[in-house]
Amino acid sequence: MKLLLKTSSSKIITVTTAAIVAIVGYPLLMHHFLHNGQYQDLALIYLMQFIVTQLLLAAVFASTLLPGKTPLITHFAQMVYGLELPSEIDRYCRNTTWAWALFFIALALISLLLFTFASAAIWSFFCNVLYFPLIAMMFVVEYFVRSYSLPHLKRLPILKGWNLYWENKKSS
């Protein structure tokens, strides 16, 4: 029991320290580069920030695919449809979790390729303008794939699903 408490408290301290370093260090680093006119270095930092964020998102999805874990999309489906999902839905949720993990890896890779081989304007357009529409498009594509793959599945309005998620979050 003491080991468990020590392990969880050391994780909390590590996460808190990393958060403080990021919150304080990032603005100071950006100020340094701006003050010294090193705009290319700012682009490189933004590239690293973008890539790390995408890879962390991919890792969140992919880590739930490990043996003994519940895929993230399965977890959301269980909130809506109950804990016992038919194998067809369970398989679809696992594949969708893979799709999201690969999607975020693809975003990181595209950003790196554009940064390396395209103009700064094109790379910046991808990261700053296209990013959220691409995520929205992924949701839309997944909805249509789900509608085609699981035509018998009861459809919920998006706000109903949102409310079920938050109700489940409050009760857990």
Kindly give the residue spans of alpha helices, DSSP state H, lying in the chain: 2-35, 39-63, 72-81, 87-117, 120-125, 131-149, 158-171
Q: From first to last of its 172 residues, what are the pLDDT tens digits of the chain?
A: 344 444 556 666 677 787 787 777 766 666 666 566 666 667 888 899 999 999 999 999 999 999 999 999 999 888 888 889 999 999 999 999 999 999 999 999 999 999 999 988 898 889 888 999 999 999 999 989 999 999 998 777 777 777 777 777 777 6
27: domain range? 1-37
Q: pLDDT value at position 97?
A: 98
Question: Do the beta carbons of residue 73 and residue 100 sit within 8 Å?
Answer: yes
Are 126 and 56 within one domain? yes
Are 91 and 158 within one domain? yes
Are 93 and 165 within one domain? yes
Count of Cβ atoms closer than 10 Å to residue 161 Cβ: 14
Count of Cβ atoms closer than 10 Å to residue 168 Cβ: 14
Rg (CA), the chain: 20
Crossing angle for the helix pair 72-81 and 87-117, to the nearest 10 degrees: 140
**pTM for the full predicted model:** 0.75
Q: How many folded domains does the chain comprise?
A: 2
Are 72 and 151 within one domain? yes
